[in-house]
């Protein structure tokens, strides 16, 4: 039985992408290899370095990073049986993303979804070529960019400095101190949450100004351990502006930390969030 073709990502590069540091990929699959999308012989599409005639984008080429996938392990029925095994799915996702991230320094990378599998190399290439116009638009969008993630959590342990009327009442009427301070704490917590919306909107505006695109998860989807997750956003940033973007996040993180906000940043990543139409 011939193996299927597992597809990790599409790469746009001037030359043949290096495979020396690419990890093994999903358990049971073959070594990662490249399919030349522009090859004239799709039955034997292994990359041929140096062939530039007819290339798009001033000499850039497109390559699919793929691997042989045995059907007993990666056929539709086999995958469907194991989707309820979250540990197995998690290990597969980590291995899938590790291969994609090995190509992060290529000019443009389009990650494929987990378990993107075709019956053969020919089928994989045919599918890509039929969607050439949309693929070209996506490559143009992410060319020369990295994705960065930014999260803001409201620290539940943070308490604004006590004072004002509640403190005055506590001094003038010690017997009411407990109730007064409890009310003050509730008022402070309410004020902190109300102020959070404005604070996060301001931060989001500052970061979007440094990015080409951004994507923010709706508040109804947000959750976090140890605090209220106020912002979970992804930003598509030109690589030439990445240092400025990181510096801005670091400055805002220090400023907001004194007001009970924890800001964290992850990346750079391939553009996982920005490959949908």
CA distance 180 to 145: 53
Whether the predicted pLDDT of 222 surpasses 70: no
- Convert the pLDDT of each residue in 137-192 to its tens digit: 999 999 999 999 999 988 766 666 555 454 445 445 555 666 655 555 555 556 66
Taking the C-alpha atoms of residue 5 and residue 71, their distance in angstroms, rounded to an integer, is: 10
Name the CA dihedral angle for 125, 107, 248, 217, rounded to a multiple of 10 degrees: -10
Q: Within 10 A of 18 (CB to CB), how many other CB atoms are there? A: 13
- In tens, the pLDDT along 190-215 reads 666 667 778 888 999 999 999 999 99
Global confidence as pTM: 0.79
pLDDT at 44 over 60: no
Quick one: how far is CA 138 from the chain centroid? 16
The pLDDT, as a whole number, for residue 258 is 85
Q: What's CA 168's distance to the chain center, in Å?
A: 50
**Could you tell me the two tokens for 53?**
């005639």
Q: 28-32, 99-103, 147-151, 197-201: which range is least confident on average?
A: 197-201
- With H, G, I as helix, E, B as strand and everything else as coil, classify residue 63: strand
CB atoms within 10 A of CB 85: 11
d(CA 260, CA 249): 16
Whole-angstrom distance, CA of residue 157 vs CA of residue 226: 9
Which tokens hold the place of 89?
A: 């799915």
């Amino acid at each position: 039985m011939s193996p299927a073709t597992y597809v990790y990502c599409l790469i746009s590069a001037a030359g043949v992408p290096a495979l020396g540091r690419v990890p093994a990929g999903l358990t049971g699959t073959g070594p990662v290899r490249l399919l030349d999308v522009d090859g004239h012989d799709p039955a034997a599409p292994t990359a041929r370095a140096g062939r530039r005639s007819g290339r798009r984008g001033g000499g850039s080429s497109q390559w699919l990073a793929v691997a042989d996938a045995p059907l007993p392990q990666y056929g539709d029925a086999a995958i469907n049986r194991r989707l309820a095994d979250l540990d197995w799915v998690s290990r597969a996702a980590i291995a899938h993303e590790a291969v994609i991230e090995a190509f992060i320094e290529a000019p443009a990378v389009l990650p494929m979804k987990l378990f993107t599998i075709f019956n053969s190399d020919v089928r994989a290439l045919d599918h890509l070529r039929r969607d050439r116009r949309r693929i070209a638009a996506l490559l143009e969008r992410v060319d020369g960019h990295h994705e960065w993630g930014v999260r803001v959590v409201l620290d539940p342990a943070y308490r604004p400095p006590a004072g004002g009327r509640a403190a005055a009442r506590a001094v003038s009427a010690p017997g009411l101190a407990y109730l007064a301070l409890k009310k003050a704490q509730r008022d402070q917590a309410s004020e902190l949450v109300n102020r959070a919306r404005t604070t996060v909107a301001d931060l989001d505006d500052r970061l979007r100004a440094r990015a080409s695109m951004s994507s923010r998860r709706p508040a109804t989807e947000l959750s976090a351990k140890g605090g209220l997750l106020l912002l979970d956003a992804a930003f598509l940033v030109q690589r030439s502006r990445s240092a400025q973007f990181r510096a801005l996040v670091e400055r805002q993180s220090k400023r907001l930390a004194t007001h009970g906000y924890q800001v964290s940043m992850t990346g750079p990543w391939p553009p996982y969030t920005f490959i949908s139409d």
